[in-house]
Amino acid sequence: MTRLSQLLQPQREPVPALSAATVVLVRDAPDADGGLQVLMTRRSAKASFAPGAYVFPGGGIDALDSDPQVHAACARRPGQSDEQLTQAVAAIRESFEELGILLARHADGRLADAADIAALDRHAPFAAQCAALGLRLAADEVFVLARWTGDRDLPRRFDVPFLIAHMPENQTPVADEAEQFEPVWVRPQEALERHAAGSFFMIFPTIRTLERLAKFDGADAVLAACASGTPLWTSCPRAGFLAGKEARYMEDEMPYGELAMVCPDGQIVHALDWQSERAVRLRKNLQRLTAPNPGFMTGPGTNSYLVGDPSTGYIAIDPGPADAQHLEKLWRAAGGDIRFIVCTHSHPDHSPGAAPLQALCVQAGGSAPPILGLPSAPTARANSQFTPERLLQNGELLTLTGKALDGEITHTLQAVHTPGHAANHLCLLLVEDGLLFSGDHILNGSTTVIDPPDGNMADYLDSLDKLDALCAEHGVEFILPAHGYVLGDARGAIARLKAHRLAREAKVIAALQALPGGSMDDWVAHAYDDVPPRIWPVAQRSLLAHIERIRALGPGNN
């Protein structure tokens, strides 16, 4: 639902990605320590792509790699698609041309050996030579590990399955000394450490692949994980600036959604540094100013948002704590023209700034923007008391209207009551752009605390369902939380969050069953054994919320 008129940069079409294939050859280390090793080589310093980088062997997919006659001469796994077979053929061919490694077998099942390799010319048609020697390419032993598509900003991009295969026994890699040099067996963690030390240059997909491979104990373990034929991950990275340097991220990393929203075509222009000195533009009609209140519970700080433009005036969402400097910067970013102040809920890092921000507008000679939201419930803690000037009804619309070059422009916020984190919690939908402001209901990088009695786990989960339905109805792609970067894949993020909460609840049930006479300290140690103990005092509040929900459901629903 993105309005192209509200994007910060003119959009450009990324260059088409070329088809290629890479193969990660693995073995168990022959030394006493054992463990997984991967085969890597150094690319030529004159290479057009990733010069001087240590990589896995691979290259472009040739027309002959998809030839039906070539496929017919391959060993093929049940369920291995034509596309996967073509990729496997390309990977086998490239590993031979670059490193003299031959993944092939004789008719009697014998692996190709040094004599077979010596009989082949690296510069002649590969498949025909193998057929002439009676060799069948072992495509059935090549599995899909991952799939990478080159960053949208790159002038030359590749769509590359990262395949994986066991290194044939009794073969030794020999680089072609043209494209590849210095073949080396290395443990994934060792390669990463050498890269960090500056002696083993690698590009982003290689680094992230090694980080994931480092979690496997040996070759058999990683090959077993790939046996289904489905990639363990798929990624088209995005990049922004962090501390003045380019930084790339995968889909499961926190900045990815923000980069997708601000720079959908992949241009590297967005700074990811947390900014409390000036507002950060996310769209032409959207700014974020992060309050200088970072901490354990607030992450990088409370995000205050401004929706609108100079012709319409602005709606301020979550002015944050009563920090005079923060509020003045927020007021200035709006050009002094704030039409509404909306608080998503009453907690002390969200609502106390509302009244002083209103007063600042009046002191500057403007009118007093109304403070909107829901009043804190009687269950709220003493430091979370909040009474708006006017209640926002569930479904109510706040509309800003102004003049644009092509006519009238409108920015509409729809209020959605989402109790759970707090009884008076609201989320807000920017209708025209399909953007959801989630307050503390959905965060990036952590799960919000549900603190009874004002917090309620049953309400929280119901509110997640309500937000999912809203996202489906309005085509929402992005969620803007009160703490952390923008989240992409809005409905996927909600589904994962709900699954996480229910999985945690299952652990709570297990703790109650295992320790029926236990204390809160006992249960939290059991149910939150995957988080650091320093988190447990806070986790006890959400633990209590789960227990209340479990007991309300009754024994037949546990």
pLDDT tens digits, 80-104: 999 999 999 999 999 999 999 999 9
Cα gap 9→551, rounded to integer Å: 52
Q: Give the model confidence (pLDDT) of 151-187 as tens digits.
A: 999 998 999 999 999 999 889 999 988 888 899 999 9
Length of the chain (residues): 558
Last residue of a domain, one of 236, 263, 293: 236
- According to DSSP, residue 446 is labeled S
Please report the pLDDT score of residue 407 as a whole number. Answer: 84
pLDDT at position 530 over 90: yes
For 372, residues 6+ apart whose C-beta sits below 8 A from its C-beta are 340, 341, 342, 343, 388, 389, 390, 391, 392, 398
pLDDT, average across residues 385-410: 93
Owner of token pair 């032409």 = 284
Task: Provide the residue range defining the domain that includes 482.
Answer: 275-487
**pLDDT, mean over the chain:** 95
- Whether the pLDDT of residue 491 is over 90: the answer is yes
Q: Is 345 exposed, middle or buried (0-12, 13-18, 19+ CB in 10 A)?
A: buried
CA distance 3 to 224: 45
**Would 243 be classed as within a structural domain?**
no
Q: Are residues 353 and 390 in the same domain?
A: yes
Query: Residue 290 corresponds to which tokens in the numbers above?
Result: 């992060």
Q: How confident is the model at residue 556 (pLDDT cuts 50, 70, 90)?
A: low
Query: Strands, E, within 260-310: which ranges?
Result: 280-283, 286-290, 303-309
93's CB contacts (< 8 A; 6+ apart) are: 62, 65, 126, 127
- Are residue 305 and residue 220 in the same domain, yes or no? no
Residue 475 included in any domain: yes
pLDDT band at 46 (very low <50, low <70, confident <90, very high): confident
Does residue 558 have a pLDDT over 70? no
| Same domain, residue pair 509 and 459 | no
- Nearest-5° angle of CA 7, CA 9, CA 11? 90
Range 62-71 average pLDDT: 93
Give yes or no: residues 390 and 507 share one domain: no
Strands, DSSP E only, in 348-405?
371-373, 390-391, 397-404
Q: What is the pLDDT of residue 177?
A: 86
Q: What is the pLDDT of residue 259?
A: 98
* Domain-terminating residue out of 487, 518, 538: 487
Residue 429: count of CB within 10 angstroms of its CB: 23
In a domain, 189, yes or no: yes
2 domain-assigned: no
H/E segment holding residue 181: strand 180-186
Burial (Cβ within 10 Å: 0-12, 13-18, ≥19) of residue 197: exposed
227 and 151 fall within a common domain: yes
Write the pLDDT tens digit of every residue in 324-353: 999 999 999 999 999 999 999 999 999 999
Residue 378 inside a domain? The answer is yes
Q: What is the mean pLDDT of residues 53-72?
A: 93
Q: What's residue 34's pLDDT? A: 86
Structural domains counted in the chain: 3
Six token digits for residue 238: 């995005």
Q: Confirm if 103 and 142 have CB atoms less than 8 A apart.
A: yes
In a domain, 165, yes or no: yes
CATH number at residue 91: 3.90.79.10
46 CB neighbour count, 10 Å cutoff: 9
Q: Give the ranges where 320-422 is alpha helix by DSSP (H).
A: 324-333, 354-363
Question: Token digits for 116?
Answer: 């077979």
Same domain, 343 and 366: yes
pLDDT confidence of residue 170: 87
What CATH number is associated with residue 350?
A: 3.60.15.10
Whether 257 is in a domain gets the answer no
CB atoms within 10 A of CB 539: 21
Asked if the model's pLDDT at residue 557 lies above 60, the reply is no
Please tell me whether residues 27 and 165 are part of one structural domain. yes
Tell me the three-class secondary structure of 8-75, residue by residue: CCCCCCCCCEEEEEEEEEEEECCCCCCCEEEEEEEECCCCCCCCCCEECCEEECCHHHHCHHHHHCEC
**Same domain membership, residue 475 and residue 508:** no
Express as a percent the part of the chain with pLDDT over 90: 90
Are both 466 and 505 inside the same structural domain? no
Measured CA to CA, the distance from residue 441 to residue 421 in angstroms comes to 6
Mean pLDDT of 192-200: 96
Longest dimension (CA), the chain: 91
Instruction: Kindly report, residue by residue over 359-369, the tens digit of the pLDDT.
Output: 999 998 989 99
394 plus 313 within the same structural domain: yes
- Summarize the confidence of residues 115-129 as an average pLDDT: 92
- pLDDT (average), residues 128-133: 92
Residue 26 placed within a domain: yes
Q: Residue 374 in contact with residue 392, Cβ under 8 Å?
A: yes
The answer to whether residues 440 and 521 belong to one domain is no
CA angle 177, 55, 106 (to 5 degrees): 70
- Residue pLDDT, tens place only, 425-477: 999 999 999 999 999 999 998 999 999 999 999 999 999 999 999 999 999 99
Residues 274-283: contacts with CB within 8 Å, 24+ apart? 274/300, 274/301, 276/301, 276/326, 276/329, 277/329, 278/329, 278/333, 279/306, 279/329, 279/330, 279/333, 281/8, 282/8, 282/258, 282/480, 282/486, 283/6, 283/7, 283/8, 283/433, 283/435
Looking at the DSSP bridge assignments, the partners of residue 400 are: 411
Domain final residue, candidates 236, 251, 286: 236
* Pair (217, 295) in one structural domain: no
Cross-strand bridge partners of residue 436: 429, 479
